[in-house]
Amino acid sequence: MKIIMGGFNVKVGEDEDAGMVGSFVLGQRNEQGERLVEWCKESGYVVTNTVFKHHPRNIYMWKSRGDRCQNQVDFIVINERFRNAMQRVRAYPGADCDTIHTLLSAIIRLKLKKIYRKKNVPHLQSKLLKSDSDVKTGFCQNVLDQYNKRSYFDENDEWKFLQNALIKPTKEWIPETESCSKNRWMTKKILDKMDERRLPKNDPGKY
């Protein structure tokens, strides 16, 4: 969600334009307002405070002395994809903001989606430690060698050492379980191609 807001000092006019500008506006569009509307068209933005219907006093943001002229010159612009997140946009002429402009406020409701990424944890054929004597002997001997290499024991890093002593022999002696699909038509060749396709995902040409 991208929001651009502030005193643009432009008039977008009463002409509804390609859904980027609503019908609840004040004044006639000027040259600067035309530039803002053209930019909204090209970039996909919506002038939100022209979309909601309010009393005229909740639309203008500036008025001349003597209340002779009222202008809508401040805007809140949001990218079109999130236009429904804007619940209400209006001016508050009674707010004391120490400025000649009226306070412009928006209520935004945004629901963020949490993306869960599945972690592919490799499954090891740990049963081989019972069924295959060669794997069992090699694994145990490798773990023993890791311990024999150590000349002293420190209680502070004992757990870290034990962890490393088990990880290295595990990678060398216990193979991973081959992934298989529940669907009969899914083959290992297809799975390999899917993994190959994921690599250049950031490169549209290669993808």
Looking at the structure, tell me whether residues 7 and 103 fall in a common domain. yes
Q: Note whether residue 119 is domain-resident.
A: no
Same domain, 99 and 46: yes
Whether residue 136 sits in one domain with residue 76: no
Count up the domains in the chain and report the number. 2
Distance from C-alpha of 102 to C-alpha of 150, rounded to nearest angstrom: 74
* CA angle, 92 then 95 then 97, to 5°: 120
Task: Give the pLDDT confidence score for residue 136 in this predicted structure.
Answer: 86
pTM confidence score: 0.51
Query: How confident is the prediction along the chain (207 residues), in pLDDT tens digits per residue?
Result: 899 998 888 888 766 566 788 888 887 888 888 888 889 989 999 998 888 888 888 888 887 777 778 888 889 999 998 989 999 998 988 888 778 888 899 999 988 778 777 767 777 888 888 888 888 888 888 888 877 777 666 666 777 777 778 888 888 888 877 666 567 778 888 888 888 888 887 787 877
Confidence (pLDDT) at 148:
77
Residues with Cβ within 8 Å of 100's Cβ and at least 6 positions away in sequence, in order, are 62
Residue 85 domain-assigned (yes or no): yes
pLDDT at 171: 81
Full domain range(s) for residue 186: 128-198
Same domain, 61 and 32: yes
Do both 86 and 140 map to the same domain?
A: no
Residues 53 and 132 in one domain: no
Same domain for 135 and 174: yes
Q: Residue ranges of the alpha helices (H) in 55-183? A: 128-131, 133-148, 158-173
Give phi and psi for 5, each to the nearest 5.
-145, 155
CA dihedral 94, 95, 100, 106 (to 10 degrees): -110
Do 95 and 162 have their domain in common?
A: no
Instruction: Give domain status of residue 206, yes or no.
Output: no
- Give me the pLDDT at residue 181, please: 59
